[in-house]
Amino acid sequence: MISQLSWKIGGQQGEGVESTDRIFSTALNRLGYYLYGYRHFSSRIKGGHTNNKIRISTNPIRAISDDLDILVAFDQESIDLNAKELRLGGVVVADAKFNPTIPDGIEARLFAVPITAMAEELGTSLMKNMVASGASWALLGLPLEVFNKAVEEEFGRKGAAIVEKNIEAVKRGAEFVLELAGGPLDEFKLDEADGKQKLFMIGNEAIGLGSIAAGCRLMAAYPITPASEIMEYLIKKLPKFGGTVVQTEDEIAAVTMAIGANYAGVRTMTASAGPGLSLMMEAIGLAGMTETPLVIVNTQRGGPSTGLPTKQEQSDLNAMVYGTHGEIPKIVIAPASIEDCFYDTIESFNLSEQYQVPVILMTDLQLSLGKQSCEPLDYGKIEIKRGKLVSDVPALEGHDLFKRYELTEDGISPRVLPGEKGGLHHVTGVEHDEVGRPSENALNRQSMMDKRLNKLNDMYIRDAIRVDAPHETPDLLTIGMGSTGGTIDEARRLLDEEGVTTNHVTIRQIHPFPTSLLMPYLQKAKKVIVIENNATAQLASQIKMNAGFAEKIKSLLKYDGNPFLPSDVHKACKELSLDGNIQRV
């Protein structure tokens, strides 16, 4: 019996790779396994190799694995490209249609199943996904009833006949492969899962869900990979809560519409990736200057320019931290798990109103799109905090205006919404006085700049850094952000077995930088390695600039479009612990 296993399906984009993965993993989720998915795709709709990999485990996992146990291939290209990942004794289930072969030098068992032929026999080649997933399921020796139930739910809406056909396809795929293999494969027999169904979702869905919980009722956005799922999720849900999603003409419209709506009192967000973030820069300054709450989700992908639109990267850090001209207060939060995506979204909306600042919630492609198991989300933790939003304020006298930008101790001024009788005031991106009227007075300028820029002094989000520090003075301190945490954990487990002691910090509050929280861990570590998916060590630069320790901070960088593998991190940490030098991946 084994506790975990990796499965991958490959084929041409648009031929059912996605749906095979979906149905297979939904059924596994039913049984209570922990799952972690990775989608390899290109920015084409039809054609082009694509593959989905899932890791299945009886314990929580948050990383893809280096190797592979089962590869399902719809074409020879999928075998040629992916067979090298197969571990010794791995299995390939391939469509008999193309006379599959295993490349030289790779030892794997091949089961050629007439996937397309069986599907066509049942009426349509669309059912390839059912034959393939049925065969996979059977090899693992898992109960077929559970799988059939998932099929029923997927196709129930389309009527009993369709359900039956699909179940038949599953059965045929299963029977055929069992015949070839002589029954389920013992070496792939998974320990029983805990039977507790987890949530199984992508980061973008968790963000969408979190925003509804946070009271967000409007979203303005322009489609882009890998952010679009957020708007697609919300357009299905928001109408039930009285709200809607507007697909705008561009990201400038999206962000300024969000600013207008937030000004008028509705929590509104926009979401994009690098190219859209670049277009939003001027408006981010407007939100900062006018102290208008704003939540922007930036799902990072490979840059610069159009870059690698469907690939993993974490290279917008500088743009988010420094972006917009002039100087404004801004919060940048990096969720590091699906659960974080949910709770951090709620916190982003709260902070944006409490501090009256723009908040950027940054994910990366792997966190946004990788489908993962997620612990139950707690309704009890949902809180809506609107800061100094006031209503029913006293009537104004004469030409008085409401002091929307009143100079206060903490720099945060009372805020009223348009419509409020005693709340009339002016808002402008021009430097202004306490009632919002343009002013070039030097003294006023200085007080207003200080007021705005000091608002975030000592502001820490929940778990601004997340620490796992079992050692007083570790050989190594690993530091990461976003989706890389699980991978780093796995590498650390290996290092631990080899006697290299490590502590780990995930930076979740990217800006303002949580220097004082991080300081003690930097001090105690012999060496520090900052692991990030970019070429110029942007996170490491933040650490060095804010906390120092430049001499002991090294970087592990990967910017080939792929997420780190545990082996990448393990190797680099090992080298660093031995001689202090590491290679870029």
Partner 1 sequence: MATFKEFRNNVKPNWCPGCGDFSIQAAIQRAAANVGLEPEQLAVISGIGCSGRISGYINAYGFHGIHGRVLPIAQGVKLANRELTVIASGGDGDGFAIGMGHTVHAIRRNLNVTYIVMDNQIYGLTKGQTSPRSAEGFKTKSTPEGSIESTLSPLEIAMSAGATFVAQSFSSDLKQLTSLIEQGIKHEGFSLINVFSPCVTFNKINTYDWFKENIVSLEQFPEYDPSNRVLAMNKIMETNGMLTGLIYQNTTRKSYEDLVTGFKHEGLAKQDMMITPEEFDKLVAEFR
Sites for partner 1 among residues 344-383 (CB under 8 A): 374, 376-377, 379, 382
Question: Which residues in 391-420 contact partner 1 (CB under 8 A)?
Answer: 399, 401, 417-420
Q: Angle formed by the axes of helices 128-139 and 160-181, to 10°? A: 50
Interface stretch with partner 1, choices 54-62, 192-200, 295-303, 523-531 (CB under 8 A): 192-200
Q: Nearest approach, Cβ of 522 to partner 1 (angstroms)? A: 38
**Is residue 227 at the binding interface for partner 1, with CB under 8 A as the rule?**
no
**477 vs 70, 519, 576, CA distance in Å?**
35, 12, 11
CB of 491 to partner 1, least distance (A): 29
Which is nearest to 440 in space by CA: 147, 448, 321? 448
DSSP conformation letters of 135-171: HHHHHTT--HHHHHHHHHHHHGGG-HHHHHHHHHHHH
Site residues for partner 1, 555-584, by CB under 8 A, read none
Site for partner 1 (CB under 8 A): which residue of 54, 220, 333, 543?
Answer: 220
Question: Of these, 6, 19, 29, 314, which contacts partner 1 (CB under 8 A)?
Answer: 29
Instruction: Point out which span in 251-259, 356-364, 471-479, 575-583 binds partner 1 (CB under 8 A).
Output: 251-259
Taking the C-alpha atoms of residue 169 and residue 129, their distance in angstroms, rounded to an integer, is: 9
Cβ proximity of 261 and 245 under 8 Å: no
Classified as helix, coil or strand, 459 is coil
CA distance 473 to 502: 9
Helix, coil or strand: residue 85 = helix
Q: Which CB sits closer to partner 1, 220 or 295?
A: 220
Decide: is 428 part of the binding site for partner 1 (CB under 8 A): yes
Return the DSSP state at 418.
T
Contact flag: residue 201 with partner 1 (CB under 8 A)? yes
Binding flag, residue 200, partner 1 (CB under 8 A): yes
35 binds partner 1 (CB under 8 A): no
Considering beta carbons, is residue 426 or 571 the nearer one to partner 1?
Answer: 426
Under DSSP, is residue 409 helix (H, G, I), strand (E, B) or coil? coil
Residue of the chain from 158, 381, 437, 526 that contacts partner 1 (CB under 8 A): 437
- Whole-angstrom distance, CA of residue 180 vs CA of residue 174: 10
**What own/partner pairs with CB < 8 Å and gap ≥ 24 does 178-185 have?**
178/138, 178/139, 180/111, 180/112, 180/113, 181/111, 181/139, 183/141, 184/138, 184/139, 184/140, 184/141, 185/91, 185/139, 185/140, 185/141
The answer to whether residue 157 forms part of the interface with partner 1 (CB under 8 A) is: no
Q: Give yes or no for residue 1 binding partner 1 (CB under 8 A).
A: no
CB of 430 to partner 1, least distance (A): 7
**Closer of 141 and 414 to partner 1 (Cβ):** 414
- Stretches 213-221, 486-494, 516-524, 563-571: which one binds partner 1 (CB under 8 A)? 213-221
Q: How far apart are the C-alpha atoms of 216 and 222, rounded to whole Å?
A: 17
Q: Closest distance between partner 1 and the C-beta of residue 316, in Å?
A: 22
Residue from the set 243, 309, 329, 411 that interacts with partner 1 by CB under 8 A = 243
Among 242, 326, 394, 499, binds partner 1 (CB under 8 A): 242
